Amino acid sequence: MPITEILQKNADFYPNDVALTEINPKNENNRPMTWREYALIETSRSDMYKREITWSDFNKMSNRFANLLLSHGIQKGDKVAILMMNCLEWLPVYFGILKTGALAVPLNFRYTAEEIEYCLKKSDASVLIFGPEFTGRIEEIFARVPQVKMWIYEGEDCPTFAQSFEKLITYCSSKSPDVKLTDDDDAAIYFSSGTTGFPKAILHAHRSLTHAARTEQAHHGQTKDDVFLCIPPLYHTGAKMHWFGSFLVGGRAVILKGVKPEWIIKTASEEQCSIVWLLVPWAQDILDAIDAGDIDLKQYDLHRWRLMHIGAQPVPPALIQRWKTVFPHHQYDTNYGLSESIGPGCVHLGVENIHKVGAIGKAGFGWTAEIVDANRKPVQRGEVGELAVKGPGVMKCYYKDEEASDEVLANGWLYTGDMAMEDEDGFIYLVDRKKDVIISGGENIYPVQIEDFIHKHPAVKDVAVIGLPDQRLGEIAAAIIETKPEHTLTEDEIAVFCMELPRYKRPRKYIFADVPRNPTGKIEKPLLRKRYSSEHLVAMQNGL
């Protein structure tokens, strides 16, 4: 069943129920607005604190956008790119594209003009809808991307080279377009979140999107009454695929435009959110703000918050132990996934397995997982190998990149590039990315294991372990450590702390600096290696 049918079902069953709520904490002093109110009065929506849209209006806006695209010659199989910050319009635009039979192509809001140009050309996009934050970048490239026939601007003060989304859809039909879709039809191209070079274009069918919804709902038992707090960027598979479990049963999403700890807690309280999906840094910041007295939990009503789950990167067990101390009533789950496997859920811990914190879990609903050696043969339990997954959410291919596709796809299996091991109970533990493994004096060192250990130090906010070149050992482990506010930590102190690690795992170098993460929470290790490798080589040459 194409996922567009779920939207139609929700509009039929729950037409007047709120489907999406947008919260902009920067405008806290402005009164809440519904979508209908916004359409009737002369008020800048950029000044609003709260906007809402019902299931009926969500579906109608999607239909209008679909009919707009169809009227401008967009056909089944064409590509329509989205470059917008999280907002109320994002999901109706996405579903409108899907309803035409065209492919939605979400773009990372951090892309440079050069990267936007690359992705538009790589995906063969013929339309781009973009928000006001990107006008300058689009002005740089729109003349260099002739295959884009239509530039649609979603926002106020439309630039002269684009057409206004709101004006265009005003007179379009709100009836569902007569386009037949099947599970096998292409649905979307997502770009990988790689941090070096240009990203790969990941092609998914409608089957993948629907299976993501079923997987998430099977794992977390969402009902119509659940309210999902959506904070991560919607261009990525993680955020909306998690909400798809609620979407499947008509549950509301709250789109929060900001990540400050007090904003997250305040919104969870005011909107009575029951499910909150966080990235590691946000969970750390919330706990730090509570510890510092910046957040007084007694001032908030969080009784409906039942589930906190994390994904997108390895989760330090110490963080979850700390979270459960502050929020003992919360269910906790961690989800493993890749954009190539339509995001979360191909492996998940399960709320009943809190005793296995540190593991990413077992194969998710409808999925199979195994750990294999260099010849892609299963390894014994306890041995480290590459994690492979198989299921309805595996991508069709890397679009226009047969060689890269053949490297990771075989017989329905997706070879993830993540190194993992399975314990005696069948739980899988993520060890590291293949490319992040450090080989020092012939020993394989897995940075995640060291990072988990260093995270236990009370002064450490974040840590990344990378390999730096060494003339004698080939590589050495270096720990980049970001300390918590108002905490101090010296190299001698952390070196003594790390004495509990086996000798070969102890970092040979400590660097106190910020730990950069991308919008999906992954540590940008290629950036760190580039930043510190040259410095380290100069120091070696100078005998320092």
Q: Which of 182, 175, 152 is nearest to 82 (CA)?
A: 152
What values do phi and psi take at 532, rounded to 5? Answer: -100, -20
CATH 3.40.50.12780 placement within the chain: 4-258
Q: Which CATH superfamily is domain 4-258 in?
A: ANL, N-terminal domain (3.40.50.12780)
Which sign, positive or negative, has the C-alpha torsion 521, 522, 526, 529? positive
CATH 2.30.38.10 placement within the chain: 321-433
Return the higher-pLDDT residue of 533 and 58: 58
**pLDDT beyond 70 at 541:** no
**pLDDT beyond 70 at 543:** no
Return the higher-pLDDT residue of 438 and 457: 457
Q: What is the pLDDT of residues 458-475, one digit of tens each?
A: 999 999 999 998 876 778
Average pLDDT on 254-281 reads: 94
CB-based contact 465:478 (threshold 8 Å): yes
Q: At what angle do helices 4-13 and 90-99 cross, to 10 degrees?
A: 120
Q: What is d(CA 386, CA 378) in angstroms, rounded to the nearest whole number? A: 9
Average pLDDT on 326-337 reads: 93
Range 321-433: architecture per CATH: Roll (2.30)
Which sign, positive or negative, has the C-alpha torsion 467, 471, 473, 479? negative
DSSP code of 108? -
Q: Side chain identity at 167, as an amino acid letter?
A: K
- In this predicted structure, what is the pLDDT of residue 442? 62
Q: Which of 117, 115, 128, 45 is nearest to 83 (CA)?
A: 128
Average pLDDT on 355-372 reads: 94
CATH 3.30.300.30 placement within the chain: 437-541
pTM for the complete prediction? 0.84
Distant-in-sequence, close-in-space partners of 460: CB < 8 Å, separation ≥ 6: 454, 481, 482, 483, 484, 489
Average pLDDT on 364-382 reads: 95
**pLDDT beyond 80 at 336:** yes
Does domain 437-541 fall under CATH 3.30.300.30? My reply is: yes
How is the chain split among helix, strand and coil, in percent rounded to 5? 35, 25, 35
Q: Where are the alpha helices (DSSP H) in 203-353?
A: 206-220, 237-247, 261-270, 280-291, 317-326
